[in-house]
Structure 1
Amino acid sequence: MRDTTDRKNLFLLVQLRWLAVVGQIVTILIVHLQMGIRLPLLPMAAVIFVLIALNIASLIQIRRSASVSNTQLFLELLIDVWALTLQLYLSGGASNPFISLYLLQVALGAVLLEAWSAWALVLVATAGFTWLIGTHQPLPLPHAHEGELFSLHIQGMFICFVLAASLLVPFLTQINRNLRARDAYLAELRQRSMEEAHIVRMGLLASGAAHELGTPLATLSVILNDWRRMPLLMSDPDLSEEVAEMQNQIDRCKAIVSGILLSSGEARGEGTVRTTVKGFLDDLVQDWLSSRSPARFEYDNTVGPQERMIADLALKQVLFNVLDNALEASPGWIGVAALRQGDNLVVAVNDSGPGFDPAILEELGKPYRSTKKRPGSGLGLFLVVNVLRKLGGTVSAKNRAGGGATVTLTLPLAALSPGGSDGDD
């Protein structure tokens, strides 16, 4: 982010230099042609051509390089100070009212540079000013202006003031905007880091709990198998059916525990199932419906069968969380629509429940933001948002006009493909 900000600032410096070049040309022409004060045009034009060449080189650097160092910015400003010193040397030295433009260079250095280089620029500008006091080419004033020296100096100071102020205000405003954008981005990164640290702790707890649950679940499974062979239970069909259902639920718990351990211990894409997006979503919906029972469920999957992907357990759990939340809010009806939009997969989960509270919509994805009055509530959407973000996707939610809510998951298909990347983090 710092590199990006420095590149933007260098580009602003290039723009400012273009304005300075135009300003120098206009000022030289006015003084030389309109006011009749003869200036050494060739040397002054040579300095302007150096600044133009520097700008072209800077633009090439911005396009070719992703980073801009403090040293580079320092050297650019040093060349600007050198060019200003030469122009002042050729046009009256320290008596030239444009001598105060040194302050413009110092102000830019104070904003753009690190402390040591900003002070070094101050020393260079001070040395240039001191040198110009005793060494310069005097201006040959025409006889018509010999009695107007003070008035000409005041006019030059006024033009210099207007020029410096006109350049500083937009330049510093844009620099401050760049710095604020950088600070906001860094704050967002810190927030993401805190959220991801929270997820890591949750993952460690879930993995530990899965290990701890393995033994009692295995014990319960053995006991139930023994019960099923007992004559008393075998003779009672109702009890046998209930014991069989208990065994099924324990097997399901064991499968969930195994899934937690698998997803926490395997790298994505290693040992996972390669399938299609359409097949993954169809199987996921069937698995979810096998253990949940909404009164009415509508499912529309228009994704083409040619889209390949990796069956990611984390993504499956994310969609399960969204569907579970929808079922809790709206047991009577849930609608799921999956489609492709451009290069993205879009999955919309609709319900006919009471909808989201406005405060929840404003802080969507923040942990423990929930209207449910129970410990640990509000983590579902938090995990959904973070997993989608790691895959380069987004999550949005809104209340439907006719009642209920819609949660929309958008994922780049490239992140789901076997050769895809895991987002931008």
Structure 2
Amino acid sequence: MGRLRVGTLILIRWIAIGGQAVAILTVRFGMGFELPVVACFAAILASAISNGWLAKRRAPRARLGDREAALVLGLDLLQLSVLLFLTGGLHNPFAVLILAPVTVSATILSRNATAALVAMAIACASVLGLWHLPLPWDPPGGFFHPLIYVLGLWTGLSVAAVFVSAYVWSVAEEARSMSEAFAATRQALGREQRFAAVGGLAAAAAHELGSPLATIAVVAGELSRTVPPDSEFAEDVQLLISQSNRCRDILAELSRRPSEMDGMPFEHTPLSALIEEAADPHKSDRENIELDIELDPKDESPQPAIVRSPEILLAVGTLIQNAMQFANAKVEVTIAWSVNEAEISILDDGPGFSHDVLMTLGEPYVSSRRNEEGHMGLGVFIAQTLLERTGASISFGNDEGAEVVIRWPRAMLEAIERNDSGD
């Protein structure tokens, strides 16, 4: 949960303290109403002292924990209640300010802290509705509001405290979830882009090391023919030959490996090869699940050739992994294309998406941990975000199981450029 910065809290409290002082002075000396000024300023002074103590003890950039911030806001709520007690209770027009600490808590603090402050605000409003000093402009004999009016004031404040806190907390929580999801997206994409960069460097290194390694192999071969078999160096020469051959095989494998390209950062590859690479890590996720990748050309146009996009790799891999987890026996990945469009369909034979899940899929409303309904979570949100960055549209549905369909305008797909900067 969010943590409240000390400097922000101190500033808010100084503004509240200044406003309270101005209001008391205006009512007493500007409007001429009698007020218990000494008692009021004692409450204001107590708040000012606590704020000064907080400013001295904690650096402005420091952040208060959930419990500490809730304690400070609770003290502010008590101090405000004391002022309202001295100036008419719920009859005071400023009684609505009881909602201020609750709203601040709902914006930043946890649900439990906010619930505690809501309960405290309702308790304070209850006390102020029953016991308080009279309004400063009440007639000498006293002016008493009907009980139903006081009950209405109390009900209004209580309902407002609950509603405002719940609404503000839900909006703030959604904003926090979106922020965390985008951070996870950037982290996952950056990791895949670093892997791609390392792969390119490995392929380039394999290419550059090929020539000197070939020279070493030639020299070692010549030595093996000139050194007698019974020489003390014969075994070393054979070791040199075997190790150079091993290095040659390793470098050849690095150069061949499609997941690490072949030293050309912008070389294009068929779309099916990219999808094969995305699916490979998940083929062994569940040994009893069959993963089929099929090609389905819609016309005579050639298969789209694109650069190795980390966004597509990570997103399609996540969706295939999701399908593998919930399939009963089989996952089908179909790659279709035409002269105008490219499409990837991922279909599993599992229980499919429930109606409620379909309504909210693609939103970061669930943690990365999947619940019993499955097919949902932060991973789907990340996948959708990454695919939309490449110009794709993604749809979810059911067709004898859960189906995810990804579509690109072909020109946009083939125009994707590699981005290893991590942006």
Structure 2 length as normaliser, TM-score? 0.42
Report the structure, 1 or 2, having the larger helix content: 1
